[in-house]
Structure 1
Amino acid sequence: MKRIKTVFLTLAVFSILHLSAAEYKASYFGIKSNGTTLNTTSIQKAIDYIHEKGGGTLVFYVGRYLTGTIELKSNVHIVLREGAILVGSTNIYDYNIEEPIFMPALVYANKASNISITGKGVIDGQGAEVAYNLVDQVHKGIVEDKLQLDRPATRRPGGIYFRECNHVSISGITIKNTAFWVQTYDQCENLRIDGITVDSKVFWNNDGLDIVDCKDVVVSNSFIDASDDAICFKSHDKTKRCENIEVRNCVARSSANGIKFGTVTSGGYKNIRIINNKVYDTFRSAFTIATPDGGKVEDIFVDSLYAYNTGNAIFLRIGTRWNKDKQGTIDNVTIQNMYAEIPATKPDAGYGYEGPIEDLPRNVSPAVIYGIPGVDINNVTLRNIEIVYPGGSNPNYAYRGTKPADLDSIPELIDSYPEFSNWKELPAWGLYVRHASNLTLENVTFTAKEKDYRPAVVFDDVKGATLSRMQYNVPGRGKDLIRHKSTRIIQK
């Protein structure tokens, strides 16, 4: 907790310092607000000029400012006043798609310090038009890019991409309609994101917020609605990790996962706090930790997470997707004071870019904690949890038994993309745990609204499960609510 308070204080001092810098109106540099003049060169000239003068603030007032890629530099702060819209060009060649950086973007920064984008204005990437124009160029053979289901893999520009930057503040703004990940902060330190709105559902892979191998980060008071993972931690570099991060008072909606660690997890995550957040209308899991690439996950604390109309509540998974010589680990995860409601129907139905229609049959899945043979998920505590399921699973539609042979027949799928639906039918309706040790369930309630043919909880190869004050509410089934194999259970 002391470490998080230090991050808040550092970022608060940074915010006060940058507000005292010289201010420059965008119009001073000939930047036009008519929505048709391409301002890329003039905006970049303004940024360069302010940077060369030792720093200051570039202020955009009411209007539409059309631009391609601009690079934010040290000690330069962009303020978008209410009514100011930074509009992305629809011409793919106005973006930095050929430069040797990880990802093209409308606004990017590389090794910059003391930078910010603040205000009540908007960044609009016009992502649908940009993406389809890029697809057109790929089809014509002008741009080389690998297509995945007719989606370009690497050239689509995001909204913001900051790499190896220090003392970064993003606050107040709205970011919408990008062609790729909305905002990515890669190996940045001392980052604060506060009071922003993300509304990006116009194309595939619209992650709302990606924090990649960053250190000392606070994300607060923000609303994120995205067609892909809403709030996502990643680790692309096996020598780095996400560390000392807090996400507090945010609301997330996604046609993938609400709050997710992974999937790319080469290095790992340590000391991450997820406090008082809400997730709704989310296709996959409200909360996910996936380490299929050798990364080490430790000291994760989730408190007061409320999830409504989400496909799954909790999914923790170790795998061996890309790493063949190193297995990932998950150790010391606490999830407490959580409430989740799981629907019988598709939770993101009706959104522009829904999650995929699954290859069924599968009844509604339980929460899942799943290690791999020989590598347990270790020291997980679920405390003061209530998960409400629809129940009503039909054994004639999809069936999974709980006899030892039935449990042994569940495939490990250790090199598959980690999603709770991969196994089709699982043998429990509330919680399924396999390959874990030192698991604690305290005051956990599982409720099924209708009768379910499966038991509430199934443990398989769990080396110590301590259960206290457990409740199972399901019509027509008063016993046989826990099944286990190769498991030691301590009832309190």
Structure 2
Amino acid sequence: MRSWSVLVLGLASMALAPAGTAVAQPPVAGTCDVARYAAPSDGRKLATAAIQKAIDSCAAQGGGVVLLARGTFLSGTIVLRDNITLRILPGATLLASPRIEDFTPFPAEDVPAIMVDGSTQNKGNGPYHLIHADGARNIAIDGGGTIDGNGEAYWDKDPVRFFVSRRPRPTPLIEFVASEHIRIENITIRDAAGWTIHPLESSDIRIAGVTIRNEGRGPNTDAINIDSSHNVLVSDANIVAGDDCVVLKTTGRRGQRPPPPTYNVKVSGVVCSSDDQGIKIGTESLGDFRDIIFDNILIYHNPSLYRGPTAAISLSMVDGARFENVIVSNVVIRDAATPLFLRLGNRGRGQATPVPGSLRGVIFSNIIATGGSLASSITGLPGHKLRGVTLRDIDFTMKGGGEAMTAAVPEAEGDYPHAPMFGPLPASGLYVRHVDGLMMQNVRLRTEARDGRPALVLDDVTGADLDAISERNLPPR
């Protein structure tokens, strides 16, 4: 076994609080079929007004089910009210209009902030939406049908980046703001023009049994973005996304500083492919994150995407907030460039003077990764260490073939956090820097091709407990 450098050895320990979840129940009441409100279903005439009239009529009766039974319903923005379930049955499609003029901006004051630099506001977090709710209770989308975001109608071709967005677009496609008791279940969503599902400052959310198929070449076509929300359960999702699959954020979109935290979140039973990150926290981290579980997840490279994930698991705290009590367990990763990226940085978005936050109490367990090309990294900053990081039952097989390195790894304190940010790393499997309280137990770091670097490099790591760590080059196939 090759050696690695450790400055101080010791014992690390930590406690982790369980993450709670609450499940929103579907409202029970009458049914308002949009056909009774003369909603055209030919996919050519706008059905927005008729669908909204059905929603408003149903809400006036105390709530119920608004039904799209069959056909294609072309629509701009529709707004859900209290106690409304939008039920799209198999054989029915809610299709986003290709004209941005058919959408109502929420909030309207954000329209001047839309940038024309290859993306819209906050790279997908804009004011136009297909389905929207603000301050609503007991709302749901279900039924087994399809929502089509018509994304390509809003993109421009670019010879280098496939598609770019230089015009306003309906993104996030589905956005619920300051709402509670939300359920999105048994629905297929495809071709979002940007972000797909975005609960913002909301609570008691269940997203289950959804299939999301977005264009891999599309800009910022994230699947699920959970933003300053709590008591969230995401389960049994099948995702192909052109950006990130499941992301937790605290964007500060509504202006509050610091924004509300994201907490009590469980993401389980997800199969996903992305050209960027699989599961992610950040990069927008203006508010705190705590009590989060990612469990039973498969991250892979779908052949429809032009490349595999740049990082399968990416957790970063770079805008001054606190990050604590996170478990990532039972994950299988295939053909992601970097299996694991954990970062405390100091970008300082939303701060007059950037000041690092804190990151503590993270457990990675029972993770298998193959086909990676860039070593995983766990990094803090000088004087601002990560605290209490555990890796248990980890098996990473990298491609290997690298040469020994002597160049220093840059700190890159204020850079955008992503796995390739440091350039080549001095380890073939895992690089750890500026950490206090590192526990590694039953960790295997291997390469397919012989590699001139050690599998594991520790730099400025204190209070480490290393047990049953192995490395080797695999024999040629």
Q: Shorter-chain TM-score: what band?
A: 0.7 to 0.9
Compared with structure 1, are the counterparts of its residues 243 and 176 closer, same or farther at alpha carbon in structure 2 (3 Å cutoff)? same
Which segment is superposed worse, 195-204 or 317-326?
317-326
Which segment is superposed worse, 116-125 or 40-49?
40-49
Which residue matches 2:385? 376
Match of 1:227 among 222, 242, 246: 242
Between the aligned partners of 1:63 and 1:468, the Cα distance in structure 2 is 60
- Deviating beyond 4 angstroms after TM superposition, the runs of 4 or more aligned structure 1 residues are 1-5, 153-156
Matches within 5 A, 1:112-127: 112-127=136-151
Shift of 1:154: 6.1
Shift of 1:156: 4.3
Conserved? CA contact 1:131–1:156, under 8 Å: no
Question: Secondary structure of the equivalent of 2:35?
Answer: helix
Conserved? CA contact 2:155–2:164, under 8 Å: no
Is the aligned partner of 1:110 residue 2:134?
Answer: yes
Is the aligned partner of 1:339 residue 2:354?
Answer: no
Is the aligned partner of 1:68 residue 2:94?
Answer: no
Residue 160 of structure 1 aligns with an amino acid whose one-letter code is I
Between the aligned partners of 1:453 and 1:232, the Cα distance in structure 2 is 35
Which segment is superposed worse, 171-180 or 46-55?
46-55
Is the aligned partner of 1:428 residue 2:446?
Answer: no
Is the aligned partner of 1:169 residue 2:168?
Answer: no
Compared with structure 1, are the counterparts of its residues 131 and 45 closer, same or farther at alpha carbon in structure 2 (3 Å cutoff)? farther
Which residue matches 2:299? 279
Shift of 1:130: 2.6
Shift of 1:150: 5.3
Between the aligned partners of 2:325 and 2:184, the Cα distance in structure 1 is 26
Which segment is superposed worse, 463-472 or 110-119?
463-472
Question: Secondary structure of the equivalent of 1:390?
Answer: strand
Shift of 1:475: 5.7
Which residue matches 1:468? 467
Is the aligned partner of 1:330 residue 2:359?
Answer: yes
Between the aligned partners of 2:84 and 2:109, the Cα distance in structure 1 is 23
Is the aligned partner of 1:400 residue 2:405?
Answer: yes
Report the structure, 1 or 2, having the larger helix content.
1
Shift of 1:367: 0.8
Post-superposition Cα deviations, 1:207-242, rounded to whole Å, max 9, x if no partner, equal 111000111000001111100011100012323111
Between the aligned partners of 1:390 and 1:21, the Cα distance in structure 2 is 57
Compared with structure 1, are the counterparts of its residues 175 and 371 closer, same or farther at alpha carbon in structure 2 (3 Å cutoff)? same
Between the aligned partners of 2:376 and 2:436, the Cα distance in structure 1 is 17
Conserved? CA contact 1:59–1:80, under 8 Å: yes
Matches within 5 A, 1:433-472: 433-472=432-471
Which residue matches 1:181? 195
Post-superposition Cα deviations, 1:466-488, rounded to whole Å, max 9, x if no partner, equal 11011112269xxxxxxxxxxxx
Residue 210 of structure 2 aligns with an amino acid whose one-letter code is I
Compared with structure 1, are the counterparts of its residues 386 and 153 closer, same or farther at alpha carbon in structure 2 (3 Å cutoff)? farther
Let me know the Cα RMSD of the aligned residues. Answer: 2.0
Structure 1: gaps spanning 5 or more residues:
136-148, 344-363, 477-492
Question: Secondary structure of the equivalent of 2:277?
Answer: coil
Shift of 1:320: 1.0
Where relative contact order (Cα < 8 A, 6+ residues apart) is larger, the structure is 2
Between the aligned partners of 1:424 and 1:91, the Cα distance in structure 2 is 42
Post-superposition Cα deviations, 1:286-338, rounded to whole Å, max 9, x if no partner, equal 11111111121100011101111111111000111124342121100001011
Between the aligned partners of 2:67 and 2:202, the Cα distance in structure 1 is 24
Match of 1:389 among 393, 398, 404: 398
Conserved? CA contact 2:164–2:218, under 8 Å: no
Structure 2: gaps spanning 5 or more residues:
1-15, 111-125, 253-257, 302-307
Conserved? CA contact 1:187–1:214, under 8 Å: yes
Between the aligned partners of 1:2 and 1:290, the Cα distance in structure 2 is 20
Between the aligned partners of 1:297 and 1:454, the Cα distance in structure 2 is 32
Between the aligned partners of 1:154 and 1:370, the Cα distance in structure 2 is 37
Between the aligned partners of 1:95 and 1:330, the Cα distance in structure 2 is 40
Which residue matches 2:36? 28
Between the aligned partners of 2:146 and 2:354, the Cα distance in structure 1 is 45
Is the aligned partner of 1:193 residue 2:217?
Answer: no
Compared with structure 1, are the counterparts of its residues 3 and 428 closer, same or farther at alpha carbon in structure 2 (3 Å cutoff)? closer
